[in-house]
Chains A and B, each alone.
Chain A
Amino acid sequence: MFPSLTGFDGSLFDQFRRLQEEIDGLFDQGPSTAGIRSVARGTFPPINVGATADKLEVYLFAAGLDPKKLEISLQQNLLTVAGQRQAPPSEAAIYYRRERFNGEFRRVITLPDDVDPDRVEARYRDGVLHISVSRKESAKPRTIPLN
């Protein structure tokens, strides 16, 4: 799915400093600067973020949510997703494993400054919440003609 994710381009991370702490490989290399909104590894739901020339694509891997109860907001460049997942209580059951997330969650994702808060789309399919945020026209790369 993410073949391009294995070849990380380090420079991209500069914009996403808050995420820095979570990136594989940085852990054992001494102290690193944690973004002010970064969260611990393993926080539910896991998130992937990708960028194209005109959009930012955010994927939240959150199975079993009720889309109606999701709260998605974008203020300036801060994307907030909040929701809850409650396991139905099964009476008279003995639990052997409880590894799945249960409860309320809220994740805040710092996007680059050039996002357009008025053009956001979100859809939920097969347990993946995909939020697509357009970038401002002025921020798109332009080809400059040589005279």
Chain B
Amino acid sequence: MDRTKEVATRADGALQREGRAPQIVLRPPTDIFEDAEGITLQMDVPGAARERLKLQVNRNQLDVEADARIDMPQDMEAVYADVRATHYQRTFALSSELDAERIEAALKDGVLTLRIPKRAELRPRKIEVR
């Protein structure tokens, strides 16, 4: 556990700061892992397409928002629903060794992958013992 750094703490409560009407928000399940070059986030946002995805970095905060849209017949009646909302939202605090300018995002089959590289000068170097 001592290796766990506060690289991506959740910062909920950012939800209604823009004075929007309260809305049911889905918190997409996320995997986060780190390697020598950076941190990768993978998020399940089924139903979200590229044009309904909003990624924003504000200071050291990464905001992910997406809307799912599903084709449904007009006259459909709900019979059963595990999923009761269509808005995904999640916020992560970045840490200073990450280069937020160079985040790469890819969306495929409802999985959003974000790659956040570490600043080159801050990547771990191996120290030779002489």
A contacts, CB < 8 Å to B: 1-2, 4-6, 8-9, 12-13, 15-16, 19, 22-24, 41, 45-53, 55-57, 59, 61-65, 87, 90, 92-101, 124, 126-128, 130
Could you tell me if B110 and A97 are in contact, using CB atoms closer than 8 angstroms? Answer: no
What residues of chain A lie closer than 8 Å to B68, measured between beta carbons?
Answer: 1, 126, 128
Question: B31 at the A/B interface (Cβ < 8 Å)?
Answer: yes
Could you tell me if B110 and A127 are in contact, using CB atoms closer than 8 angstroms? Answer: yes
Residue of B nearest to A66 (CB): B109
Could you tell me if A92 and B110 are in contact, using CB atoms closer than 8 angstroms? Answer: no
Q: A65-B109, A101-B29 are in contact. Are A50 and B34 (CB under 8 A)?
A: no
B contacts, CB < 8 Å to A: 3-4, 7-8, 29-36, 40, 42-49, 68-73, 75-86, 108-111
A131 to B77: give the CA distance in the assembly, Å: 16
Could you tell me if B109 and A127 are in contact, using CB atoms closer than 8 angstroms? Answer: yes
What residues of chain A lie closer than 8 Å to B76, measured between beta carbons?
Answer: 4, 50-52, 57
A55 to B110: give the CA distance in the assembly, Å: 25
A15 to B78: give the CA distance in the assembly, Å: 13
Q: Which of A15, A16, A94, A128 contacts B110 (CB 8 A)?
A: A128
Most buried by B among A8, A96, A100: A96
Residue of A nearest to B9 (CB): A96
Could you tell me if A63 and B34 are in contact, using CB atoms closer than 8 angstroms? Answer: no
Q: Which of B31, B43, B70 contacts A59 (CB 8 A)?
A: B70
Could you tell me if A5 and B44 are in contact, using CB atoms closer than 8 angstroms? Answer: no
A8 to B80: give the CA distance in the assembly, Å: 9
What residues of chain B lie closer than 8 Å to A24, measured between beta carbons?
Answer: 84
What residues of chain B lie closer than 8 Å to A124, measured between beta carbons?
Answer: 109
What residues of chain A lie closer than 8 Å to B70, measured between beta carbons?
Answer: 1, 59, 128, 130
A47 to B72: give the CA distance in the assembly, Å: 14
A112 to B4: give the CA distance in the assembly, Å: 49
Q: A92-B36, A99-B29 are in contact. Are A127 and B45 (CB under 8 A)?
A: yes
Question: What are 11 A-B residue pairs whose CB atoms fall within 8 Å in the complex?
Answer: A1-B68, A2-B83, A4-B76, A6-B84, A46-B82, A47-B80, A47-B82, A50-B73, A52-B77, A64-B108, A64-B109
Could you tell me if B71 and A130 are in contact, using CB atoms closer than 8 angstroms? Answer: yes
What residues of chain A lie closer than 8 Å to B8, measured between beta carbons?
Answer: 96-97
What residues of chain B lie closer than 8 Å to A19, measured between beta carbons?
Answer: 80
